[in-house]
Amino acid sequence: MAVKPGNYAILEGIQAEMKTNKDLTIFWQNRPTAVSPMGKVIDLGKEFGNARIPQYTAIDEEWYIGACAGMALTGVPSIAHTPYMCTTRAFDLVFNQIGKLRHMTGGQASMPMVIWQDGAGRQPGMAGQHADAGQESLYAAIPGIKVVIPSNPYDAKGLMIAAIRDPDPVIFWHYGQINAVQTDVPDEAYEVKIGEAKLVQEGTDITIVGYGPAMVEINKAIPGLKAAGINAEIIDPRSLKPLPIEAIAASAKKTGKLLAVDHGHETLCGVTEIIARCAMMGAGNKFHRLAFPDAPPPGNKEMIGWMTPDAPKIVAAAKKMMTA
Partner 1 sequence: MASELSSENQTDSPVTAESPAAPRKGLRRRSFMQALGGVAGGVAVMAGATRAKAGNSWDSATDLSDEKLMEMYTKMLKSRWWEEGMKDVFLKGDDKMYGVCHLYIGEEAVAGGCIGALNDDDYIVSHHRGHGHLINKGGDLDKMSAEMFFREGGYNKGFGGSMHITDVSKGILGMNGIVGVSHILGAGAAYGIKVRGGKQVAVSFGGDGSVNNGWFYGALRNAALYKLPFISVIENNGFQVAIPTTETISVRDLSQIGKGLDIPSYTVDGQDIFAVYAVMKRAVDRARNGEGPTLIEAKTHRFYDHAGMARAKIGTLGAFGLPYRSDRDVHAWIANDPLPKFKNALINLGLLDEKKAAALEADVKKQVQASIEFARKSPMPKQEIGLSNVFAQGTVSPSQLHA
Task: Count CA within 13 A, CB hemisphere, residue 314.
Answer: 31
Question: Nearest approach, Cβ of 66 to partner 1 (angstroms)?
Answer: 11
The stretch among 33-41, 171-179, 239-247, 316-324 that binds partner 1 (CB under 8 A) is: 316-324
Q: 107 Cβ partners below 8 Å, 6+ apart?
A: none
The stretch among 3-11, 104-112, 121-129, 242-250 that binds partner 1 (CB under 8 A) is: 121-129
Q: What is the DSSP letter of 94?
A: I
Q: Does 2 bind partner 1 (CB under 8 A)?
A: no
Q: Give the one residue of 2, 20, 30, 103 binding partner 1; rule: CB under 8 A.
A: 30
Give the separation between CA 220 and CA 226, rounded to whole angstroms.
Answer: 11
Q: Does 276 bind partner 1 (CB under 8 A)?
A: no
Question: Nearest approach, Cβ of 107 to partner 1 (angstroms)?
Answer: 31
Question: Nearest approach, Cβ of 60 to partner 1 (angstroms)?
Answer: 5
Question: Nearest approach, Cβ of 70 to partner 1 (angstroms)?
Answer: 16
- Determine contact, residues 92/100, Cβ cutoff 8 Å: no
Q: Does 298 bind partner 1 (CB under 8 A)?
A: yes
**Pairing outcome for strands 41-43 and 33-35:** antiparallel
Q: Give the one residue of 37, 49, 70, 128 binding partner 1; rule: CB under 8 A.
A: 128
- Determine contact, residues 148/191, Cβ cutoff 8 Å: no
Give the separation between CA 87 and CA 257, rounded to whole angstroms.
Answer: 32
Q: Does 43 bind partner 1 (CB under 8 A)?
A: no
Q: Where are the beta strands (DSSP E) in 2-60?
A: 2-3, 25-27, 33-35, 41-43
Question: Nearest approach, Cβ of 33 to partner 1 (angstroms)?
Answer: 11
Q: Does 96 bind partner 1 (CB under 8 A)?
A: no
CA 9, 12, 14, 17 torsion: positive or negative? Answer: negative
Q: 46 Cβ partners below 8 Å, 6+ apart?
A: none
Residue 193: which region, alpha, beta or left (left: phi > 0; alpha: psi -120 to 50)? beta
Q: Does 51 bind partner 1 (CB under 8 A)?
A: no
Give the separation between CA 76 and CA 294, rounded to whole angstroms.
Answer: 40
Task: Count CA within 13 A, CB hemisphere, residue 309.
Answer: 34
Q: Give the one residue of 15, 21, 29, 201 binding partner 1; rule: CB under 8 A.
A: 29
Q: Does 49 bind partner 1 (CB under 8 A)?
A: no
Q: Which of residues 56-95 bind partner 1 (CB under 8 A)?
A: 56-63, 85-86
20: Cα separation from own chain's centroid: 25
Question: Nearest approach, Cβ of 307 to partner 1 (angstroms)?
Answer: 5
The stretch among 152-160, 167-175, 242-250, 258-266 that binds partner 1 (CB under 8 A) is: 258-266
Q: Does 292 bind partner 1 (CB under 8 A)?
A: yes
**Which residue, 178 or 322, is less far from partner 1 as judged by CB?**
322
The stretch among 36-44, 120-128, 164-172, 175-183 that binds partner 1 (CB under 8 A) is: 120-128
Q: Total binding residues for partner 1 by CB under 8 A?
A: 50
Q: Give the one residue of 158, 205, 308, 311 binding partner 1; rule: CB under 8 A.
A: 308
The values of phi and psi at residue 209, to 5°, are -130, 145
Judged by the rule CB under 8 A, the positions of this chain that interact with partner 1 are 29-30, 55-63, 85-86, 124-130, 259, 265-266, 288-296, 298-309, 313, 316-318, 320-321
